Chain A
Amino acid sequence: MFKFFEPSKIFQVTSKAPKYVLFLFIIVFSIGLIEALILSPEDYKQSHAVRIMYVHVPAAWISLGIFSSITFLSITGFIFKNKNFFLIAKSLAPSGFVFNIIALVTGAIWGKPTWGTWWAWDARITSMLILCLFYAMYLISWRIYENEEKVFKVTTFITILGVINVPIIKYSVDWWNTLHQPASIKLDGGSSIHSSMLLPLMLMLLVLLLYSALILLMKYKTEIIRIKKKNIKRI
């Protein structure tokens, strides 16, 4: 199974895939923007401010998803002593970090017209801020430590600690009284969001996922070249 994760195999994909991903991204992005800004209806309570949801919610989902993936990859890489898993995790982290910041900033912008404040130490916002700190620690660790073994250990430890925060973020709205509303979209099918708003939300989610894939492909390729350059005489 790990043969699929060999650098040479993935490198081939990273060389060819970006142009197709970029092409798809531009198409979905155009449709998503039209849906989110023009075609989707305004909310009966929040009016047009609800449109912020189309960048805020997908960004938050993806930052959570990426952190969970990084944890899974780090643990798997650590157990099976596969360096490549760590490289994929490292390449995923920047887009997760950016989306975490985007979720916090757009959340603050959305908070002003709906709650009357830019910031509140609400359980969901605070736990998202903590996730952002874990992302920062993870990325800084890759910069600080030169020794590979040490960086693998430290980053795995950070992700294990950080992933405890993921279910806290998800269920914070149910466990505590917060300014955030409970989840509108549930995996068991009991969603309370209308399809006219669900469609642009899913389209924007796809847009941000494609963007993350694009960054992952370029970052991973850069990492492989960096390693090859270091060991060029040993190839």
Chain B
Amino acid sequence: MIQSFITMNGYGLFVWLSFALTFLACVMIYYKTYKTLKKYEKDFAKELNKLSESERKLVLEKSKIASQVLASYNKSI
């Protein structure tokens, strides 16, 4: 039964190859997108840390996005 599931009447190679390539492409794009996002979060947090204490406070008060990015980055480390 497992044998016939794998071979699929001789079409196994085509079917498995299609599913495997689709899966691989999706995983690669997901991984690359996730890595880029984390890199940008890290860079943004670094830029924030370069600011003086008062500037940083002002940025975090004014921008909801900035405080969310920092929170997300802090969570991930």
Interface residues of chain A, those whose CB is within 8 Å of chain B, are 7-8, 11-12, 15, 33, 37-38, 42, 47-49, 51-52, 55-56, 59, 94-95, 98, 101-102, 105-106, 109-110, 112-113, 211, 214-215, 218-219, 221-222, 224-226, 228-229, 232-233, 235
Contacts and interface: CB of A to CB of B under 8 A. Distances in A.
A210 B56 CA distance: 37
Nearest to A47: B9
Given A105-B21, A109-B17, A222-B40, A98 B26 contact: yes
B71 to A, nearest CB: 9
B25 A101 contact: yes
Interface size for chain B: under 10, 10 to 19, 20 to 34, or 35 or more residues? 35 or more
Q: Is the interface of B mostly helix, strand, loop or mixed?
A: helix
Nearest to B23: A55
Contacts of B8: 42, 47-49, 51
B65 A7 contact: yes
A233 B11 contact: no
Contacts of A105: 18, 21
Nearest to B26: A211
Contacts of A12: 64, 68
